[in-house]
Amino acid sequence: MIDAAKLQGFVHGVWRDEIVPVLTDYIRIPNKSPHFDPAWAEHGYMDQAVTLLEGWARAKIATVPGASLEVVRLPGRTPVILIEIPGTGPETVLLYGHLDKQPEMSGWAEGLGPWIPVLKDDKLYGRGGADDGYAMFGALAAILALREQGVGHARCVILIEACEESGSYDLPFYVDHLAARIGEPSLVVCLDSGCGNYDQLWLTTSLRGLIGGQLTVKVLTEGVHSGDASGVVPSSFRILRQLISRLEDETTGEIRPKELWVDIPAERVEQAKRAAAALGDEVWTKFPFEPGMKPVTGDPAELVLNRTWRPQLATVGADGLPSAGQAGNVLRPFTSAKLSVRLPPTADAGKAAAVVQKLLTDNPPYGAAVTFEAEQANPGWNAPPLAPWLEESVQKASQAAFGAPAALMGEGGSIPFMTMLGEKFPKAQFLITGVLGPQSNAHGPNEFLHVPTGEKVTQVVAMVLADHHARTAPAKAAPAATPVGAGAPQPKARGGLFGGLFGKK
């Protein structure tokens, strides 16, 4: 049995004394995902991040008999960190995370920046701390917390990739290459998801798929005077608008092709209603709306379903448009828009991509040169039903760590790894959770990691690992290793999470 107070004290000490300082160094490294830094190998930032995480993890597992760590590098591909920790019993748990990052983005508040770590009010600001640099630290700390108390766990494999923000296109090669070492996990833990609030554990039940690509409309070989050409040469921007309207109703935001829609399972509809009841207006007030701006509907349950089970379009970038201050009276030769189409979890991404390709490029207005260069077509994922033991475990763990019951909700983002693992290991149970809650703003400016939630999620993972092991070996416990972070103080009254350790916040 786990001593919950000791678990909290151990996890708090490791997070305060070790994890937050190393994550601070990690945030400083601009190791953007390959899609955003094609010269990542030459720049060396990814290797810096790998080396930083590798060094911390090697020191932690040095006290665990039989544990190993390898940085695996396949030719021409981003590396992965593979950590293997022996356990007792016949089963394996796979714990997943990633260390690559989204690009900088603009709009960071004064004093903040993507590569400037700032700890303030229990929030560690900077790119990648919450998405998803903390994952390896949280997973390993959870395992070591069990060993510190002599509580048994199954064999654990921690896999940290460096290509997730680019669609995990390198990962299938590693999963195949490492298949014998990964084994057949009966439980998969992923810490790369979100949470509806910071008051309870949030379990992710589904993830949307994604079609990403660049739509380009060319009308001229070079720009010409707008006074001479307008009214004669159709605007590339106007044609672009027409084409996008084939895909999306600009008035309602509804995606037009019915091939991109699915029937939402009744269970997911009910879960969405319960999540909306728990969150209320926070479903939409968590976003930094301009004053007077409103969401697409006032019904929180419909908003939850919109962002988890319905297709949506976002135009995330554009080319061919000079800045307003540099724009002359020129009818431009082309306009490009980068489109991001979120798909329902159970939609066929390949078929959906073909539909979008044909829709946008067939019969272009005025015979314009139109291309849609698809960059990714990733399927979504719908979790299998929770086994009774896991449902009971997460509720118990949420009460112990957060003092509130766990909640279940789909996420609007994509984690291609989950689809792959769901197909490879159809009998596995999945614990998908994370720390990306209100205002944490993954991928955008002012991204932060809510440190207390990171600690509590770590505690939850430890308790679930213990319950997973107890199903097959209830009376057998792993021998305790030399405690990692031994001597770490029990948490005092938590008015200031880190006391005076880091000085000014």
81-105 pLDDT tens trace:
999 999 998 999 999 999 999 999 9
Q: Nearest to residue 57, comparing CAs of 36, 39, 71, 47?
A: 71
What one-character-per-residue DSSP string does 358-419 give? HHHHSS-GGG-EEEEEEEEEE--EEPPPPPHHHHHHHHHHHHHHHSS--EEEEESS--HHHH
DSSP 8-state symbol, 265: P
Contact 168, 377 (CB under 8 A): no
More confident residue, 474 or 59: 59
Nearest partner of 432 among 406, 451, 452, 450, judged by Cα? 406
3-state secondary structure of 480: coil
Distance from C-alpha of 277 to C-alpha of 436, rounded to nearest angstrom: 20
| pLDDT band at residue 477 using 50, 70 and 90 as cut-offs | very low
Show the tokens assigned to 20. Answer: 């937050």
* Pairing mode of beta strands 155-161, 92-98: parallel
For 27-73, what is each residue's pLDDT tens digit? 999 999 999 999 999 999 999 999 999 999 999 999 999 999 999 99
pLDDT tens for 228-250 read 999 999 999 999 999 999 999 99
Q: What's the pLDDT at 503? A: 32
Upper half-sphere CA count for residue 327 (Cβ side, 13 Å): 9
Lookup: tokens for 100: 């690559």
Of the pLDDT bands very low, low, confident and very high (cuts 50, 70, 90), residue 481 is very low
What CA–CA distance (Å, rounded) separates 396 from 390?
A: 10
pTM metric for this prediction: 0.82
